[in-house]
Chains A and B, each alone.
Chain A
Amino acid sequence: MIRKATAVALLIAACWAVLVIACRHDDALVSAPHAYQLELPDNFPPVQYDFSQNPLTKEGIALGRAIFYDPKLSADSQVSCAFCHQQYAAFGHYDHALSHGVYNRIGTRTVPSIFNMIWSKSFMWDGGVINLDMQPLTPLTDHNEMGEDLPVVLKNMQGNAQYKKMFKAAFGTEEVTSQRMFHAVIQFVATLNSFNSRYDSVMAGKATFSQEEAAGYQLYQQKCAACHKEPLFTDGSFRNNGLPVQPALNDSGRMRITKSQDDYLKFKVPSLRNIIRTQPYMHDGRFFDIYNVFAHYDHGIVRSATLDPLLQNGIPLDAGQQRQLYLFLNTLTDYKLLNDKSLADPATPQ
């Protein structure tokens, strides 16, 4: 009898446990997304991105990462964000001078490396985009990039069970909207940050430069730091660095946005972080080797009305200095960014 009672009690307990677990499972489906705290370095300036409008959550970042790596969102189902923004190239496009899009279309500028974007005030080589959340619209819809109409992109996601599940986890309901999609992508992009290079260890007093690296660092401070300002290694400004105009592209740079002659041939100063991994160089990828860049600054500057005042006399660099500068720039490679598995391709939603 007692045994029977025990058995019944056990059965009831088991049923209760099953119910509780089932309910928990339900709770997980409708529970609020889990806040995600970004760890940022103390020596960096305050971020420009307004996280209050798009608070980071684990689920939002996971959704953004799935979108970032999904080629099916493009017109030919071949080109994801990550197609051009490769992790091993510090989220630039390795060995591609000009951006490469759907149906082998070629763009007119090189792919910018997209790390430390939350510190940036404007986006694109010409600063045409002024809000990070709106940035994904350009590559998704540009004819030479992913080449798809936004309503089609959203419709494809709306019909995908896994996306619906992920939107629900990130935003509370299955509804796929452009606003949610942009927010999710940028939540992932907000995690692509670079401040763990050997240079950073040296600055934190946890490592030391070799003699030649130290000499390179001094050269950088004398000759490069005015535009490629520490710790981001860019001041975010637009400058004409004296490149001869490529007639085939005839790119007027920031003037395309502002219509001001003063901005003719000005492009955004890129970060020098991870530079040894982000070749080719310049807004049009014309230099495939960092030594070509040194040569340009040493003796290739073309004078024009908008040439940056700091480059009026070029930047003289002899062979020994170029070697030292190279060895210093090499310390800006951030292996954590290049190898972090949480930034790599997840399973693409089927």
Chain B
Amino acid sequence: MRRWLCCLVILALAGCSKSSDNRRFGNNSIQISISSVVNGHPLVLKDSTYHNAIGEAFTVTTFRYYLSNFSLTTSTGSVTPLPNTYFLVNEADSNSRTLLITGVPNDAYAALNFLVGVDSLTQAGGPKDGALDVVNGMYWSWNSGYINAKFEGTSPVSTAPGHILQFHIGGFQAPYNTIRSVSLPLAQPQVWAGGAHLVKATADLYRWFNVPNAISFAKFYGTMEPDADAVKVADNYQQMFTITSITTP
């Protein structure tokens, strides 16, 4: 009997902590579905060859990045934060390319905002679980902080052993902050009054190497520490997302 009581108490407590963690106010949900492309072509890991803006061929073996701290801008210009939104998008795991955010308040919205990378407070903090668990291999042990975005592949012009490309982009402290803030306008202000909203977006890897900093793989095969090169890549990947459609209920 006591054993059952204990179990009940524990279950009740576990239930309490779970619901209070995720409790949000509002009855809209957003499902963000991300497709990866390279300059308009669907991204296929390993087997497909692409070309960067200056015509150098490359393949992609790894494409992973953090998206966090989502918020919505209302039609009056105020910002509604969507707390506890941390996602690790991994090209090799199709489930990870669908992001679900619940508890969004009813309002008229004009833009979807988020960070590429993990906010600095979380980066400097202690161990986390879920998407932020260091077991995911997106954290530097020797120089505290998350790898905000990771691209690996090959290019015949890379001078690295095995012609590899290794872009591990991280760093959250000035002058090497690689967290980037993205704001995607919704085509017209959308009045959300409950229900599930589907946002389709593309992440274009081509833009990592193009504007404002054109990257030549012959000269630069990547970086694996917070440095000036990482900042240049971050300035590029800030441009990689586009909303392609929004379906409202």
**B124 and A130 form a contact (CB under 8 A):** yes
Q: Does B56 have its Cβ within 8 Å of any Cβ on chain A? A: no
- B119 touches A (CB below 8 Å): no
Chain A residue with Cβ nearest B176: A259
Over the window 161-198 of chain A, the binary record of Cβ atoms lying under 8 Å from chain B Cβ atoms (1 yes, 0 no) is 00000000000100001110011000000000000000
Residue of B nearest to A134 (CB): B144
Query: What mask results when residues 19 to 58 of chain A are scored 1 for a CB within 8 Å of chain B, else 0?
Result: 0000100110010000000000000000000100110000
Report whether over half of chain B's contact residues are helix, strand or loop; otherwise say mixed: loop
Please choose the segment from B34-42, B126-134, B156-164, B186-194 that sits at the chain A interface, where 4 or more of its residues have CB less than 8 A away: B126-134
- Within the complex, what minimum Cβ distance (angstroms) separates B137 from chain A? 8
Which stretch from B2-10, B177-185, B212-220 is at the chain A interface?
B2-10
Check B126 against A23 for contact (C-beta < 8 Å).
no
Selected from A23, A151, A172, A183, the residue in CB contact (under 8 A) with B127 is: A183
B129 contact set on A, CB distance < 8 A = 177-179
The interface residues of chain A, by DSSP majority, are classed as helix
With A131-B144, A138-B142 in contact, do A26 and B3 touch (Cβ < 8 Å)? yes
Q: Given A30-B6, A30-B10, A259-B176: A142 and B141 within 8 A (CB)? A: yes
Residues of chain B within 8 A of A177, CB atoms compared = 129, 133, 135
- A60 to B24 alpha-carbon distance, docked (Å): 32
Q: Is A26 a contact partner of B2 (Cβ separation < 8 A)?
A: yes
Q: Which residues of B approach A to under 8 Å, CB–CB?
A: 2-3, 6-7, 10, 124-129, 133-135, 139, 141-144, 176, 226-228
Interfacial residues, chain A to chain B (CB-CB below 8 A): 23, 26-27, 30, 50, 53-54, 124, 128-131, 133-134, 137-138, 141-142, 150-151, 154, 172, 177-179, 182-183, 256-257, 259
Write 12 A-B pairs (CB below 8 A) sorted by A numbering. A128-B143, A129-B141, A129-B143, A130-B124, A131-B125, A133-B126, A134-B126, A134-B141, A137-B141, A141-B141, A172-B10, A257-B143
Question: 17 more A-B contacts (CB under 8 A) besides A26-B3, A142-B141, A259-B227?
Answer: A23-B2, A26-B2, A26-B6, A30-B10, A53-B125, A128-B142, A129-B142, A131-B126, A131-B144, A133-B126, A137-B134, A141-B141, A142-B142, A177-B129, A177-B135, A178-B129, A179-B129
